[in-house]
Chains A and B, each alone.
Chain A
Amino acid sequence: MNIKRKLLAGLMAACVTAGLGTGLTACGSGGSDGSVNLTFQIWDVAQRDGMQAMCDAYTAEHPNVHIEVQVTSWDEYWTKLEAAAMSNQMPDIFWMHTNEILKYADNGKLADCSDIVETEHFSDISLANASGSDGNLYAVPKDKDTVGLVYNKEMFDEAGVAYPDETWTWDDLVDASQKIYDATGKYGYMAYGDDQLGYWNFVYQAGGSILTEDKTRGNFLDPATKKGMEFYIGLQSYDWCPDQNYFAETAPGTAFFSEKGAMFLEGDWNILSELQNYPDMVGKWDVAVLPACPDPLSGDGRATISNGLSYATSAKNKHLDIVKDVLKFFGSEEGQRIQGESGAAIPAYEGLEETWVGVFDEYPINVQPFIDMFDYCIQSVNNAARPEWKSEVSDTLLKIYTGELDLDSGLQAMQDAVDEASAEYYE
């Protein structure tokens, strides 16, 4: 009996001291000697070294500041950040994604960064990706990306088809796919029903759009939007294209690097790790700009979706001045150059794209098409209601693919989903 009691008492005491002891040290973000410890939260382990290099460059000149880079996997990142925001315990610096920024910015969780961003050095799209619904900057642009066409050179050679280039249109995509399928038995273009890495690109190439220009309503009923969707969904009926059941089990990238198919859409952010992870494939594949729509209802038929991350801090940060100074450095030419040279991502800072391209010098691949596409890129689709309509739209798309809905009623359903969700935000 005594032992049990002692055990219990000891246990509680141990819990409490373990808790308090470490708790105190963890809270001590400001030391007595004027030094400041900052935390910097990111979700991509592949970029940790690049982020650390950037922090090191800052702290070398500001020895009183210490920055710790912490990685949380994507799945937990947003749950954690939201809980932290509710209890005012957000990390000092954290990455922001366009999917989420409006929720945080519009609810006053992010510090206004208008005064520290050198707006003349960033594209309108980069700035828009770091802005709240009110148009103010609530983050510092970090990087930007585009979507390109990745292709298997060997399969093109075998079928005797010329490699894709900037003259390619949708017709060439279909033609080449058919020829490769006939000659090799492999899949041609693998038309995965994704948004950013799939149909969005084709909708904008056809001259359509997902949202109206003011982003307050859907635009699925627009004839040009319908044209893009019809073409993209229609690709699945060709023998050379796997159906969506296939992609549910085998991601297009996996199929491509196991040499099951000749082409798929890929974002620039994955290229470096694909070169590293598939050493046997190096030299067998390359990248091209996306094919153009041959007869767009408006525009020149060219488009690619461009997204971008940004750095943000809490509106209630205790060391706001210091943190904003760090953020300013992250957004400066020097900070962005370090990021680019680490290969982490294409710097958002205009004119530094080549730092990222240079990382690929050692590989037999030409990543320049990703940079070239910035001339006609489209900002990744977003409005404040997107979290609410996102799943519903992708569900509906799957229903069109399986034939449960025809194209017209499917588009109508997508339109309704977007409008209904958006109505609450844009009255």
Chain B
Amino acid sequence: MNTSMKSSKRLSTTLTYIVLILGSVLMIFPFVWMILTSFKTQAESMAIPPQIFPSTWQISNFSTALASLPFVNLYVNTGLLIVFRVLCAVLFSSMAGYAFAKLQFPCKNLLFGIVLVQMMLPSQIFITPQYLMLAHMGLTNTIFALVFPGLVSAFGTFFLRQTYLGIPNEIAEAAYLDGCNKWQTFTKVMFPLTGSSCAALAIFTAVFAYSDLMWPLICNTDLNKMTLSAGLSTLNGQYTTNFPVLMAGSLLAMIPMVILYLIFQKQFIQGIAMTGGK
């Protein structure tokens, strides 16, 4: 019994590794390709059949990328954008998600319907109206303009509502008995239980904010007020794209995202310890 359990455990561990390693190869492949391309010449990057390794490693692509864009400003803007969007998304979505999951109030289903409807809408229809709103307020070409469409998050609300629905009611009831009101129950008892979900939402929101390319280009014109991804896209010409420089720039742009991920990764691990649950 004991030995068979052990061997079956070893088998499952081996299987886990095999699947994860195979998956990792698939996942990491475009990333490796991106690194290789960033060291190629333009001709090598477009060669058919593709040339896998550059014949000489061109570091100049990185200096070209650095020289053609105001990277410091772009890093700051992207950082601000991500911080504001993540804070807004986590804060407002936690509040709304908790209310939808655990509180009773008038028109609850109707209001939740609004959240769902937003998720059904294709983002392309928002661009022009949101630009016009900003233009009326005279706020185009500002950092606020970058944050504007992401002030609230329907997805975040739905996601956290589901998380709160998974938390037993007894925990909240215990808090009432201790004399907490609804708001205190939320902030002191319930909110801390959702650490790993909030971290996941933060990663999700950050990645979306980071990769959103269309909106920054529409709402802002000044390159100094762009985000990294949007700034990078201005390196594309109408007819030609210099892939090596683009890839070099994209690699430079990824650095803050990787750092951010490593920070949240820790939060993830802590999330386990914090959710005692039943």
A-chain residues with CB within 8 Å of residue B141 when the two chains form the complex: 22-23, 26
A301 to B214, CA, bound (A): 45
Do B136 and A281 touch (CB < 8 A)? no
Task: Confirm or deny: B188 has a beta carbon within 8 angstroms of a beta carbon on chain A.
Answer: yes
User: B residues 188-237 with Cβ under 8 Å of A?
Assistant: 188, 214, 217-218, 221-223, 225, 233-237
Do B240 and A46 touch (CB < 8 A)? yes
Given A74-B236, A255-B48, A258-B47, are A79 and B87 neighbors across the interface (CB < 8 Å)?
no
Task: Confirm or deny: A44 has a beta carbon within 8 angstroms of a beta carbon on chain B.
Answer: yes
Task: Confirm or deny: A162 has a beta carbon within 8 angstroms of a beta carbon on chain B.
Answer: no
The contact of B48 among A73, A76, A83, A250, by CB within 8 Å, is: A250
Number of interface residues of A (CB under 8 A): 53
Task: Confirm or deny: A360 has a beta carbon within 8 angstroms of a beta carbon on chain B.
Answer: no
Task: Confirm or deny: B138 has a beta carbon within 8 angstroms of a beta carbon on chain A.
Answer: yes
Residues of A contacting B: mostly = helix
A233 to B41, CA, bound (A): 35
Number of interface residues of B (CB under 8 A): 47
Do A257 and B43 touch (CB < 8 A)? yes
| Closest partner residue, chain B, to A79 (CB atom) | B218
Given A73-B233, A74-B238, A86-B132, are A8 and B91 neighbors across the interface (CB < 8 Å)?
yes
In the complex, the number of residue pairs spanning A and B with C-beta atoms less than 8 Å apart equals 129
The stretch of A218-226, A272-280, A408-416 in contact with B is: A272-280
A302 to B45, CA, bound (A): 37
Do A83 and B142 touch (CB < 8 A)? no
The contact of A11 among B87, B187, B217, by CB within 8 Å, is: B87
User: Interface of A with B (CB < 8 Å)?
Assistant: 1, 4, 7-8, 11, 14-16, 18-20, 22-23, 26-27, 39, 41, 43-46, 68, 70-76, 79-80, 82-84, 86-87, 89, 91, 250, 254-255, 257-258, 260, 267, 269-270, 273, 277-281
Closest 10 CB pairs of A and B: A19-B144, A87-B135, A277-B42, A76-B217, A22-B142, A26-B141, A74-B238, A83-B131, A278-B43, A258-B48
Given contacts A39-B221, A70-B222, 19 further A-B pairs with CB under 8 A are A1-B188, A11-B88, A16-B144, A22-B144, A26-B142, A41-B221, A73-B217, A74-B237, A83-B128, A83-B135, A84-B135, A87-B135, A89-B135, A255-B48, A260-B48, A267-B239, A273-B237, A277-B242, A279-B41
